[in-house]
Structure 1
Amino acid sequence: MTEEYTQLVEQLTQTALDFSLEILAALAILIVGIFVAGRVAKYTDKLLTKSGKVDTTLKPVIVKIIRYTIMIFVLIAVLARFGVETTSIIAVLGAAGLAIGLALQGTMQNIAAGFMLLFLRPLKVGEFVDADGISGTVEEISLFITHMTTVDGLYLSVPNSKLWSATVTNYSRNSKRRTDMAIGIGYGDDIAKAEKVALAVLSGDSRIHKDPAAQIIISGLGESSVDLNVRYWTDSGDYWPTLSDNRRAIKEAFDKEGISIPFPQRDLHIISDVKAKA
């Protein structure tokens, strides 16, 4: 009896010792894993900041993904120390991920589109864009939605998948932009004189680029006017101010030079077949 008791104590002691060693090994793996995950995440953040090529919105997402990925492998390694079948865990995680992906298909599309927007950057924070009728200044690009502000101060919350599938016109990306200003003059006015007066007005505006030079073409012969298209290049930020200022200046210059800007009109011919009564 005493011998059996001694053997049982020895077995329990050995089991406790082995289990304690496994716990210590698991704790060591966990501590080292947390340390490595933190160091790698910190190094990645520093590397992305130094490169300057990654969007500020995307940077913390990349850092978190790297940290969590490392921690998942660390937890699997910890469970393996206690004899847990890791292949089963991986299979369960894969199945759970697939189920979640199917349940959140629309959300996953927005996340995927968010990554594409952040990586390829067809639009960035601070830029004014139009995406199939959705226009405004980009305030923030998150993984799910993009926040925008319209020209009249309204807030827009646009799903990333909608922006990614749209044709995006970016009005801020290029440093310069061409302005096309439509002006009509009367058929009785001198076209060459009108062109000379308009170009003189444009030459006095320092915001208008000299190269390429401003030009005026006849875009059409309307019902009431000869249609001119005044073209010039400015910095993108000067587009609207120069358009408004030069419209006013050209109108005033035309008035001074006696060049008319006609309004739509119709000539009516009344034909009567009523014979005068005798």
Structure 2
Amino acid sequence: MHLLKSPWKIGLGIIPALLIYCVFSIIPIFISFYYSFMSWDGFSPMQFVGLDNFRMLLNDQIFWLSVRNNLLVVAFSVFGQIPIALGLALLLNRKVKGAKFFRTIAFIPVVISTVVISLTWRMIFNAEQGMLNQLLSNMGLETLTQNWLGNPDYSMYAIGVVIIWQFVGLYFIIFLSALQTVSKDILEAAELDGATEWQKTRHVIIPSIWNIILIAIVLCISGSLKTFDLIYVMTGGGPAHATEVMATYMYSETFRGLKYGYGSAISVLIFIFSITLILLCQRLLRRRDS
């Protein structure tokens, strides 16, 4: 109560975290906007080029390929992680033997280093000695063996499997926590009215946690558009840019090509795409909800 009467004390406590956030998150965004109008290799003096970097981007086929791949990552996340996580949460929200064990197992990939995950799955997908091809061969399905990360037709889908596996546990825990808040009285009333499990799930449980699902979708989209480390370690954007996403292309152009202005222009478009896609998704889902 004393704190509520002294809001300035709350503000004083927030200031250090806010300063750190501004220094490492907000200010770099504005710096990127500034650099995006410049031509700079990091050594020679900057030259103002206006919108030339953005004009070059609009005609850059590799950039648009990276945009398409980013949208694929968003699709893998939203239509893979969310339904699987919700299904697991609904299943383990019941009194199931070993539920605590399965909850722990599902969350482990979230806390493991992305580099470790990337290296492990790269070995699994290895064309010669990988576990996946060995398993298919032992099952008599040699015709299905592939160079999963070296074939442009399959590499992006192989990465999609890893992305779903890595983060499904995060949304599983979020949904499981949300399910604990659903009123048991309403569920009991639905049972007394003769509602089946599917009807309770569709008409009672899902509407009750719909706002949490919306938040999870927004997190999915924002995280997908920032995907970098997993793809960088597994494929480096190859083969032939088949797994290139906007973040890896920005890194390549900025630090390998020494095009800091061009790389900043890519980061600006990543920011714009992220905001646009999130707002569009929110509007569509809220319209559907109403």
Structure ranking higher in strand proportion: 1
Larger helix share, 1 or 2:
2
Query: TM-score, with normalisation over the residues of structure 2?
Result: 0.19
Larger relative contact order, structure 1 or 2 (CA cutoff 8 Å, min sep 6): 2
Under a length normalisation based on structure 1, what TM-score does the superposition of the two structures give?
0.19
